[in-house]
């Protein structure tokens, strides 16, 4: 058995899911691949093990201010971007910002940003450019 096949076999035995769909599955896979305990990862996020465990089990979603650390830990954004609404949510999560703060940084009122995030309106070209820039992962180039 090759080294790579052995590594894949061991990860599957640990419970790594080949095609994770939920945030919890992505977090669990990353933790197992790094051979960390839940309390180790919770400590990195400054949260309790019980809270982190609920994230892994998809029983609780992290608050928006916790997302930059999660994205840094994962190294990627764990959800598909299928619409403008998804892009707005991704920008908020990458920035760790609530709707009001993100709206202020774009120069719109938060009710308008809320309508974008819910898919009932589409941002203009300037706002869209800002959202794309803000939706870059933490540590990505400006």
**Tell me, what's the pLDDT at 142?**
39
Co-location of 47 and 91 in the same domain: no
Alpha helix (H) ranges present in the chain? 3-14, 23-33, 38-45, 49-56, 67-74, 84-95, 99-106, 110-118, 125-134
Q: Which domain holds residue 104?
A: 84-134
Please, what sign has the CA dihedral across residues 100, 51, 76, 83? negative
Buried b (16+ CB within 10 A) or exposed e, 28-39: bbbbeeeeeebe
Kindly report the CATH number assigned to the domain that includes residue 12.
1.10.260
Q: What pLDDT, on the 0 to 100 scale, is given for residue 86?
A: 96
For the chain, which residues score pLDDT lower than 70? Answer: 1, 4-13, 137-142
Q: Which residue has the tokens 């009932």?
A: 120
Compute the half-sphere exposure of residue 60: CA atoms within 13 Å on the CB side of its CA.
12
Residues 83 and 111 sit within 8 Å (Cβ to Cβ): no
Residue 114 lies in a domain: yes
Residues 8 and 48 in one domain: yes
Please indicate, yes or no, whether residues 7 and 57 belong to a single structural domain of this protein: yes
Structural domain count of the chain: 2
CA 66 – CA 68 distance, rounded (Å): 6
Please write the tens of the pLDDT for every residue from 76-85: 999 998 999 9
pTM higher than the cut 0.95: no
Tokens 């089990």 correspond to 57
Per-residue model confidence as pLDDT tens digits over 22-36: 999 999 999 999 999
Judge if 50 and 91 occupy the same domain: no
């Amino acid at each position: 058995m090759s080294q790579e096949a052995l590594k894949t076999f061991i990860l599957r035995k640990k419970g790594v899911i080949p095609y994770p769909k939920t945030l919890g599955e992505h977090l669990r896979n990353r933790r197992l691949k790094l051979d960390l305990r839940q309390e180790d990862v919770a400590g990195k996020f400054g949260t309790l093990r019980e809270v982190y465990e609920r994230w892994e089990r998809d029983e609780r979603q992290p608050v928006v201010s916790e997302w930059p650390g999660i994205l840094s830990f994962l190294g990627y954004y764990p959800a598909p971007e299928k619409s403008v609404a998804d892009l707005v949510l991704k920008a908020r999560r990458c920035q760790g910002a609530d709707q009001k703060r993100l709206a202020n940084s774009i120069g719109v009122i938060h009710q308008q940003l809320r309508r974008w995030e819910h898919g009932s309106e589409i941002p203009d070209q300037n706002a869209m450019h800002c959202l794309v820039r803000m939706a870059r992962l933490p540590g990505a180039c400006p």
